[in-house]
Amino acid sequence: MVNKNKILVPEAREGLDQLKAKVTNEKNPNNAKFEVAKEQGIPLDKGYNGEMKAKDAGKIGGNIGGNMVRELVKMGQQQINQEK
pLDDT score at 2? 58
- Give the 3-state secondary structure of the chain: CCCCCCCCCHHHHHHHHHHHHHHHCCCCHHHHHHHHHHHHCCCCCCCCCCCCCHHHHHHHHHHHHHHHHHHHHHHHHHHHHHHC
pLDDT score at 46? 87
Cα–Cα dist 19/41, whole Å: 24
pLDDT score at 74? 93
0.85 surpassed by pTM: no
Cα–Cα dist 58/79, whole Å: 31
Cα–Cα dist 65/84, whole Å: 29
Q: Lowest mean pLDDT of 5-19, 32-46, 70-84, name the range.
A: 5-19
